[in-house]
Structure 1
């Protein structure tokens, strides 16, 4: 059928009370602001549609747009997603039990879309065992309203081994985004920063006889999009909505209307980028970067890792010697941080979201760098729920349970912590109000026990100390120059901390303005490998 073009008002007519709506996005990449705004306005004006279930794989907001349009009591009854760290209104509704909240892992959600598209009853994986996703703990139910319902996750056994089974969630309507549509409804993604799981979401929706709505910037003659550039075939598409204002309602990222360097169409000149100023965050990123090696395949999490590892690698002139990846599907280049996390400048490749997680699940990542909110004596880490805030796990569990080495990057304490980095030393100016190394984490997002079973190497890097996971728990192995174990570390750890008999002082170069000369170390490693190969 030709001429699927409709207004946002007309497209939203297909959404009924109680429907399950699938969204596809990552931060504000993929956000269909024209359609989301129309749903929100219609509810506020008429009280309908209401009691929706919102299903989404990745964190989908920029603190005020994206999924935040659905943050109204009565409009949304249930949310099933992986992360709400950039969605403060949704997070508040979860805390106040104004909706039912199920947090599942990002990778399993994108695989669930794909498996539902193929007619399967769900997806199964070892991802989540031993964490709050495990139904023997919370089963992904992250507030009291959800805990009164059945978990969407079950424990199953295959050939005598335990797996988690993530049950199907039938979809009534999906809202996804592309760049250009033709009259047949074929969709291309040429100006989108990521491919995401849009194809799987559309196919999964059709599996349940649902309606597929796509927002685009351009509308062209039928058949004029080159066949290989069609990301979503028109046979999956019911309605096409052309954005009214692509600079505000169809932004490429939260901070950018459009930058061709984010699609790989052009390569920006990275040499003009200013080095990061020396700070505690950079110190953590620098120490973590010492774990890199030539040809390493790396994943970066949001926060300190996403904000520092890429820039530090560029400053040290080793960026071309490693492969940075982000779970969104981007490979190579320099990952962006903040509300643009998930996007990469000068990527070498951009693949679909689900295929990136296939590679991660197959232990393709040499090192992942992740943040940490709480760490306990067993080496468990919590990043998903702290204080009265529910952030969710994102792709954290998928990645950390399968990477060969896991490096957590975090300040040692939180809440007003201040320090000074100068002349190769660290001095504590004001200690944080909250300890991060505690007896038991509030919620297990990373299981130290599972990591030991998987024989993973695990480090916990802070500005003043480095710890490692051992069979006996967390052990202190390095301290910063200028720091005292008795004065600056032990009083702020809530459990009996093991201290290595081989305790070292962190390299002073980490705490100086000038580069650490990592490139020379990298080339030494490469030369030694070549020499061995020649022998």
Structure 2
């Protein structure tokens, strides 16, 4: 049997000019960084490969020790990029190289919802023409808006069409057949069978490998270690060796961002619940508590980055852990979703689902509720989380946000009413010590990531939770239904929005327990 093991440099040498390369990764989670680095080094010394197109269903790299796509963000090497999201960084830092290329219009760059990108791989694998979907209608995905284009070069090469099928309006994405896949796993045996025992997610490795194998390409797998052929248990193998051409052993690969290896992330041990930190009492915790009040016991709840990521810790503190099952796009089901740089992973998960299957669950609305953040809200109730022109690299793009929100039954968006305000909680009241300078309730959002108009038409239950008030989306617009103690409705809410807000006839004051350090006695009731 000929060995499949090659060096990272040899793997890089296999990639032809003009190739379409699909990369499995979610920021730092599962990123095949050693192979991407080798491709960048080869280009610097040989000038090849040239003009490759890369597909990233979720971002590759995190700008915190795992460079990912920035290894190949070089003029002449990268010719086009299609990604669900991109590495992001603080506004004070220099933008990642890929953002500099996008902003400089050096290559066509697209932000395609992660679930749709996985769908495109599956269609390419089955030799079907493309993806017909309602995900993204009336958002930046829609060709009536940006059509996923992130710059002028991408706008000149449309990637999505709006068509009529069976009397209805749909978005159509042509399948893209990749010639190379770069995967990441923990162990490969000599035949190329891949196991993921130290990984925090399976991501889309199987779908990406199938798309390449069925279209005559090559599949490269970066792994931590090599095992003898026949020693891996078949139930543990998630990518069979018949789909893998080459193996690159990279012993130092990190499990995820700023994490070399944590066995609780990969489900090998369960952490004691007492080991999870709960948030300190501050205004962000108040918002997270109020979001938690929107939940019901027995629900399956999707969780996004931002303030809402703390809601599982609120349930822990309130003794309600397990009443809700958390489902996140990278694939974890249940457990305790992690925070900060480890977001996308969960400890103590009940199951880890392949990301493409998780997105089918989301796109079809099989779950009960989603907790997400917002950068901007406008008069139609639309939400922007994917682009701010003044600080593009601070946002990562949409990821799975559009897939998740299209048919979610209930969505709770959370965030601060405006940006830059100095806030405190004093004696059970919200105190605005210094007003923010950047409005977040704007007349029209810069980028429509969630369509308020479609949300109303679909009958979705949409709530916005801020430190000042709670609002609901209705057919008449955005309506204030609840106000925090210490907040003046006219001065602090209505006067700080760029569009007229409605006010409920039965306007309530938020529960007093939210504004004191002690547990609030959270009662989730039961789902109907």
Moved more, 36-45 or 314-323: 36-45
Question: 1:425-504 residue pairs with structure 2 within 5 A?
Answer: 425-504=429-508
**2-structure distance, mates of 1:338, 1:97:** 31
Matched, 1:262 2:265: yes
**1-structure distance, mates of 2:338, 2:168:** 39
* 1:344-391 deviation per Cα after TM superposition (whole angstroms, max 9, x unaligned): 011010011111111112211211011111110000111111133163
Equivalent position of 1:367 in the other structure: 369
Equivalent position of 2:34 in the other structure: 34
Equivalent position of 1:296 in the other structure: 299
Q: 3-state DSSP class of the match of 1:319?
A: coil
Q: 3-state DSSP class of the match of 1:488?
A: helix
Query: Displacement of 1:242 after TM fit?
Result: 0.5
Equivalent position of 1:233 in the other structure: 240
Matched, 1:4 2:7: no
* 1:100-138 deviation per Cα after TM superposition (whole angstroms, max 9, x unaligned): 111110111112212221111212211011111111221
Gaps of at least 5 residues in structure 2 are 90-94
Report if aligned partners of 1:173, 1:213 keep a CA contact under 8 Å in 2. Answer: yes
Report if aligned partners of 2:430, 2:485 keep a CA contact under 8 Å in 1. Answer: yes
Query: Displacement of 1:85 after TM fit?
Result: 4.7
**2-structure distance, mates of 1:93, 1:502:** 51
Question: 1:211-290 residue pairs with structure 2 within 5 A?
Answer: 211-243=218-250, 245-246=251-252, 250-290=253-293
Matched, 1:144 2:152: yes
Report if aligned partners of 1:303, 1:337 keep a CA contact under 8 Å in 2. Answer: no
Q: 3-state DSSP class of the match of 2:322?
A: helix
Question: 1:35-434 residue pairs with structure 2 within 5 A?
Answer: 35-64=35-64, 65-86=67-88, 88-89=95-96, 90-149=98-157, 151-243=158-250, 245-246=251-252, 250-306=253-309, 308-388=310-390, 389=392, 391-414=396-419, 416-434=420-438
**2-structure distance, mates of 1:412, 1:364:** 30
Report if aligned partners of 1:330, 1:343 keep a CA contact under 8 Å in 2. Answer: yes
* 1:148-197 deviation per Cα after TM superposition (whole angstroms, max 9, x unaligned): 21x21122333212221111112121111111111111111111110111
**1-structure distance, mates of 2:286, 2:2:** 57
* 1:267-311 deviation per Cα after TM superposition (whole angstroms, max 9, x unaligned): 1112133321112221211111110111011000112222x1111
Write 1 or 2 for the structure with the bigger share of helix.
1
**2-structure distance, mates of 1:385, 1:340:** 22
* 1:285-343 deviation per Cα after TM superposition (whole angstroms, max 9, x unaligned): 1111110111011000112222x111111111112111011011110011112222210
Query: Displacement of 1:21 after TM fit?
Result: 1.1
**1-structure distance, mates of 2:277, 2:343:** 19
Gaps of at least 5 residues in structure 1 are 530-535
TM-score by length of 1: 0.94
Report if aligned partners of 2:13, 2:42 keep a CA contact under 8 Å in 1. Answer: no
**1-structure distance, mates of 2:79, 2:261:** 34
Q: 3-state DSSP class of the match of 2:137?
A: coil
Report if aligned partners of 1:186, 1:237 keep a CA contact under 8 Å in 2. Answer: yes
Identify if the C-alpha distance between structure 1 residues 420 and 331 changes in structure 2 by more than 3 Å, giving closer, same or farther.
Answer: same
Aligned CA-pair RMSD: 1.5
Moved more, 457-466 or 84-93: 84-93
Q: 3-state DSSP class of the match of 1:469?
A: strand
**1-structure distance, mates of 2:300, 2:146:** 32
Query: Displacement of 1:207 after TM fit?
Result: 2.0
Report if aligned partners of 1:132, 1:443 keep a CA contact under 8 Å in 2. Answer: yes
Equivalent position of 2:92 in the other structure: none
Moved more, 402-411 or 264-273: 264-273
* 1:200-254 deviation per Cα after TM superposition (whole angstroms, max 9, x unaligned): 00010112211110011111111111122111111111110011x42xxx11111
**2-structure distance, mates of 1:167, 1:280:** 46
Report if aligned partners of 1:461, 1:467 keep a CA contact under 8 Å in 2. Answer: yes
TM-score by length of 2: 0.95
Equivalent position of 1:533 in the other structure: none
Count of residue pairs the alignment pairs up: 517
Q: 3-state DSSP class of the match of 2:264?
A: helix
